[in-house]
Amino acid sequence: MSTRPHIPWRTCIACRAKKPKAELLRFGAHEGVFIDSGQKSPGRGAYLCANIDCLRTALQKKLFSRAFKKNVIVDAKRLTEEFETWKKS
Protein backbone atom coordinates (compact mmCIF):
# COMPACT_ATOMS: atom_id res chain seq x y z
CA MET A 1 0.00 0.00 0.00
CA SER A 2 1.38 3.39 -1.00
CA THR A 3 1.75 6.15 1.57
CA ARG A 4 2.48 8.89 -0.95
CA PRO A 5 -0.01 11.74 -0.93
CA HIS A 6 -2.30 12.20 -3.92
CA ILE A 7 -1.04 14.90 -6.29
CA PRO A 8 -3.71 16.39 -8.58
CA TRP A 9 -2.64 16.72 -12.23
CA ARG A 10 -4.02 19.25 -14.71
CA THR A 11 -3.60 19.84 -18.45
CA CYS A 12 -2.35 23.06 -20.04
CA ILE A 13 -5.04 24.33 -22.41
CA ALA A 14 -2.41 25.53 -24.91
CA CYS A 15 0.30 22.85 -25.20
CA ARG A 16 -1.76 20.02 -23.63
CA ALA A 17 1.11 19.08 -21.28
CA LYS A 18 -0.01 17.25 -18.14
CA LYS A 19 1.67 18.54 -14.99
CA PRO A 20 1.06 18.65 -11.25
CA LYS A 21 -1.52 21.33 -10.43
CA ALA A 22 1.06 23.34 -8.45
CA GLU A 23 3.22 23.80 -11.59
CA LEU A 24 0.43 25.36 -13.66
CA LEU A 25 -1.19 28.78 -13.48
CA ARG A 26 -4.97 28.78 -12.94
CA PHE A 27 -7.29 31.22 -14.70
CA GLY A 28 -10.87 32.01 -13.75
CA ALA A 29 -13.70 33.63 -15.69
CA HIS A 30 -15.99 36.11 -13.98
CA GLU A 31 -16.66 39.27 -15.98
CA GLY A 32 -13.57 38.46 -18.04
CA VAL A 33 -10.62 36.10 -17.73
CA PHE A 34 -8.20 36.67 -14.84
CA ILE A 35 -5.29 34.94 -13.12
CA ASP A 36 -6.55 33.05 -10.09
CA SER A 37 -3.25 32.92 -8.20
CA GLY A 38 -4.94 31.79 -4.99
CA GLN A 39 -6.73 29.00 -6.89
CA LYS A 40 -9.86 29.66 -4.83
CA SER A 41 -12.18 31.28 -7.37
CA PRO A 42 -15.44 29.33 -7.64
CA GLY A 43 -16.40 27.58 -10.83
CA ARG A 44 -14.51 26.13 -13.73
CA GLY A 45 -10.83 26.94 -14.07
CA ALA A 46 -8.39 26.80 -16.97
CA TYR A 47 -4.73 25.97 -16.55
CA LEU A 48 -1.65 27.15 -18.46
CA CYS A 49 2.04 26.44 -18.18
CA ALA A 50 3.83 29.37 -16.59
CA ASN A 51 5.36 30.60 -19.85
CA ILE A 52 4.39 33.38 -22.23
CA ASP A 53 4.25 31.08 -25.28
CA CYS A 54 1.35 29.08 -23.84
CA LEU A 55 -0.48 32.30 -22.96
CA ARG A 56 0.00 33.64 -26.51
CA THR A 57 -1.24 30.36 -28.00
CA ALA A 58 -4.31 30.37 -25.75
CA LEU A 59 -5.10 33.96 -26.74
CA GLN A 60 -4.56 33.44 -30.48
CA LYS A 61 -6.61 30.24 -30.68
CA LYS A 62 -9.34 31.47 -28.31
CA LEU A 63 -8.77 28.50 -26.02
CA PHE A 64 -10.19 30.21 -22.93
CA SER A 65 -13.71 30.07 -24.40
CA ARG A 66 -13.25 26.38 -25.13
CA ALA A 67 -11.88 25.66 -21.65
CA PHE A 68 -14.67 27.54 -19.87
CA LYS A 69 -17.29 26.08 -22.24
CA LYS A 70 -18.77 29.51 -22.87
CA ASN A 71 -17.86 32.73 -24.64
CA VAL A 72 -15.65 34.77 -22.34
CA ILE A 73 -14.30 38.28 -22.61
CA VAL A 74 -10.52 38.23 -22.87
CA ASP A 75 -8.58 41.48 -22.66
CA ALA A 76 -5.34 40.15 -24.17
CA LYS A 77 -3.26 43.21 -23.31
CA ARG A 78 -4.39 43.31 -19.66
CA LEU A 79 -3.99 39.55 -19.27
CA THR A 80 -0.47 39.64 -20.74
CA GLU A 81 0.52 42.49 -18.42
CA GLU A 82 -1.00 40.65 -15.44
CA PHE A 83 0.94 37.52 -16.46
CA GLU A 84 4.23 39.44 -16.73
CA THR A 85 3.64 41.01 -13.29
CA TRP A 86 2.84 37.58 -11.80
CA LYS A 87 5.94 36.08 -13.42
CA LYS A 88 8.19 38.75 -11.82
CA SER A 89 6.82 38.13 -8.32
Query: Is 18 inside any structural domain?
Result: yes
How many domains does the chain contain in total? 1
- What pLDDT, on a 0 to 100 scale, did the predictor assign at position 1? 60
Neighbours of 54 (CB within 10 A): 22
pTM: 0.89
- Sequence-distant (6+) residues with CB within 8 A of 16 are none
Q: What is the mean pLDDT of the chain?
A: 93
Each residue's pLDDT tens digit, 49-71: 999 999 999 999 999 999 999 99
Query: Is 67 inside any structural domain?
Result: yes
CATH code of the domain in which 27 resides: 3.30.1230.10
- Checking 25-28 for CB contacts under 8 A at 24+ apart, the result is 25/49, 25/50, 25/83, 25/86, 27/64, 27/67
- What pLDDT, on a 0 to 100 scale, did the predictor assign at position 4? 86
Each residue's pLDDT tens digit, 29-49: 988 999 998 888 899 999 999
- Domain range for 83 is 9-88
